[in-house]
């Protein structure tokens, strides 16, 4: 049972497309850090952000990589339109983070923006980068690659598996 809101459309992202889009994000971020263009560290937002974070760190040769663990949950009584809230359950290394200056905080997507808003409150000077962004949360992302409509659910490769589908015309 998925806790996602009813969405009309699905955007199915393969491993290959995630890799290509995360690489594009890395190249967009290259040379944009505050220290002569360099970035101090990459922090992935668990769990979905760990994949693009690794690709960005590899492409930009950033060797300090940490994570911030965020758990999203619904407040309210089980209705589909409940508000999503988020809480930090594991913080990255404090002496690396500071106020976020020079830190690239990476996620797979921004939807409502709640997750990024929460983390931005902790590290206001960090740079927030996502691979995909929906309109509601777009303003929370400093950099993103692809905009996806609000009524689309993004299916990530780690949430899918290859499987058989019936032929268009069944055997008669």
Ligand X SMILES: O=P(O)(O)OC[C@H]1O[C@H](OP(=O)(O)OP(=O)(O)O)[C@H](O)[C@@H]1O
Would you list which residues are annotated within the binding site for Mg(2+)? Answer: 108
Partners of residue 73 on adjacent β-strands: 85
Q: Is 113 in the site for Mg ion (CB under 5 A)?
A: no
Q: Is 115 in the site for ligand X (CB under 6 A)?
A: yes
SS3 168: coil
Q: Catalytic residue numbers?
A: 107-108, 111
With respect to ligand HPA, which residue has the nearer C-beta, 120 or 157?
Answer: 157
With respect to ligand X, which residue has the nearer C-beta, 36 or 75?
Answer: 75
Partners of residue 146 on adjacent β-strands: 132
Would you list which residues are annotated within the binding site? Answer: 47-48, 84, 107-115, 153-154
- Selected from 18, 41, 44, 48, the binder of Mg ion by CB under 5 A is 48
- The residue written with tokens 């929906």 in the block is 134
Q: Is 154 in the site for ligand HPA (CB under 6 A)?
A: yes
Residue 37 token pair: 């263009």
171 CB neighbour count, 10 Å cutoff: 5
For 110-158, the DSSP string reads ESSSHHHHHHHHH-TTSEEEEEEE-TTTGGG-SEEEEE--TTEEEEPGG
Min separation Cβ 27 and Mg ion, Å: 23
Min separation Cβ 75 and ligand X, Å: 13
Report the C-alpha gap between 73 and 88 in whole angstroms: 11
Residues 16-45 that bind ligand X (CB under 6 A): 45
Q: What does the binding site for ligand X look like in residue numbers (CB under 6 A)? A: 45-48, 72, 84, 86, 107-115, 137
Q: What does the binding site for ligand HPA look like in residue numbers (CB under 6 A)? A: 109, 111, 153-154
């Amino acid at each position: 049972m998925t806790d996602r809101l009813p969405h009309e459309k699905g955007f199915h992202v393969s491993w290959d497309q995630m890799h290509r889009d995360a690489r594009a994000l890395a190249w967009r971020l290259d040379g944009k850090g505050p220290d002569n263009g360099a970035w101090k560290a990459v922090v992935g937002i668990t769990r979905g952000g760990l994949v693009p974070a690794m690709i960005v760190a590899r492409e930009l040769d950033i060797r300090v990589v940490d994570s911030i663990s965020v758990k999203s949950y619904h407040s309210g009584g089980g209705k589909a339109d409940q508000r999503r809230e988020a809480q930090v359950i594991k913080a990255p290394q404090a002496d690396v983070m500071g106020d976020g200056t020079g830190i690239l905080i990476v996620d797979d997507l921004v939807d409502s923006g709640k997750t990024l808003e929460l983390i931005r409150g902790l590290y206001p000077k960090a740079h927030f980068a996502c691979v995909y962004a929906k309109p509601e949360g777009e303003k929370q992302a400093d950099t993103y690659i692809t905009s996806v409509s609000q009524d689309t659910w993004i299916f990530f490769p780690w949430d899918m598996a290859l499987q058989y589908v019936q032929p268009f015309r069944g055997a008669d």
